[in-house]
Amino acid sequence: MVSASPEHHLRRSQLYRIHQSAGAYFEDQDGTLSVSQYAGNADELGQARRLGLADLSTLSRIGFKGHGAPAWLHTQGVLLPEQPNQTLLQTDGSLLLRLSAQEVLILRALHPASALITQLQNQVSSAAAQHAYVLPRADSHCWLALTGEYAAQTLAKICGVDMRLHKFAQGDVAQTSVARVNAIVTRYALEADTPCFYILCDVSLAEFLWVSLIDTMLEFGGQPIGLATLRQLQPTKPSSPS
Amino acid sequence: MKLLTCPLNGPRNITEFSYGGEFHHAPDSRTCDTKRWVEYVFFHDNQAGNVLEWWCHTATSYWFLAERNTVTDTVLRTFPASELFKQRVDFATQESSAKNDK
């Protein structure tokens, strides 16, 4: 497999040196570089189903805040959950997290062709006029995905919120402390029996959180996994809103 | 570990919160005298009994109010600041209108 070189890309993860030393193969997609998979793990799909950690930091995301944000997002055809700390899957596969009554975060789908974020980015000037202010989250936060049957047990070691699957449902959001780092955690729908938690934290703490999570995962045999593997676990078309 | 209930996020470990001091309504900085302003900024009642306090959930930077008994250290209730502040306080407008008054 031929790997793209992070040194020659402007849009790369803050964690790329760690990925390189772990034997990562990088893929270039629309000018951004993500880890496709890692060398030396013959069964990365099985790893993801057991316990895996993926770095999605180079995928696009955007946020909006302000007392006019919910109304403006409605005019853009965005679906909003009724309550804060809930998510709603959009028609293009993007995931919207309602962080408070007046703040949202939108994460693109794992598969290419999420149009919503591009559409909203093009409308930012009209948003400000209606008291909806853009938050460029792509550079402020790192974005990790913790997958597999031991994911909840891994989080139990480093997070005070009960994230066992029967307590922390699909679509729930917790803004809390993970390994003493302020983080946003939500459950995302992969294939039916593979739990997945998205974890976002301040980008300056990305390296600390990655190393902490990998260390925490050792007890359960956890390993890093690539985006190509994660995509195999997600249906191309979202079945229904979470 | 003590727990505190954030009105936005629910019960969380106390380590996720910062204490923000006693709650007092701010005097109008344009009309109050210096003594009153100094009392508001620096002085505290330090009352034994039920008090109203500012708290912040640091993971979300969400400020809210808590009614707490300082003798028993029991939190009676927590609620969003929007229960007391019904509209935005625009300090910039106040300052610019004060300058125009001079």
The tens place of each residue's pLDDT in chain A, 242 residues long, gives: 657 788 877 788 999 999 999 999 999 877 789 999 999 888 999 999 999 999 999 999 999 999 999 999 999 999 999 999 999 999 998 999 999 999 999 999 988 767 899 999 998 888 888 899 999 999 999 999 999 999 999 999 999 999 999 999 999 999 999 999 999 999 998 887 899 999 999 999 999 999 999 999 999 999 999 999 999 998 665 544 44
Number of structural domains chain B divides into: 1
Options 2.20.25, 3.90.25, 3.30.70, 3.40.50; which CATH number does A61-138 get? 3.30.70
pLDDT at B78 over 60: yes
B56 touches chain A (CB under 8 A): no
Contact A175 B59 (CB under 8 A): yes
Distance from C-alpha of B102 to C-alpha of B95, rounded to nearest angstrom: 11
Write down the architecture of domain A6-59+139-232 according to CATH.
2-Layer Sandwich (3.30)
B80 touches chain A (CB under 8 A): no
pLDDT at residue number A31: 76
* Alpha-carbon torsion, ordered A91, A97, A101, A102, to 10 deg: -80
Looking at residue B86, which CATH number applies to its domain?
3.30.2270.10
Distance from C-alpha of B69 to C-alpha of B76, rounded to nearest angstrom: 7
* ipTM over 0.90 threshold: no
Contact B60 A84 (CB under 8 A): no
Among A123, A90, A33, A87, residue whose Cα is nearest residue A200? A87
State how far residue B100 is from chain A, nearest Cα, in angstroms: 27
Domain boundaries, chain A: 6-59+139-232, 61-138
pLDDT at residue number A241: 44
Per the structure, the complete domain to which residue B87 belongs is given by: 3-101
- Point out the residue among A99, A100, A177 whose CB comes nearest to the CB of B16: A177
Among A188, A181, A182, residue whose Cα is nearest residue A151? A188
pLDDT at residue number A242: 42
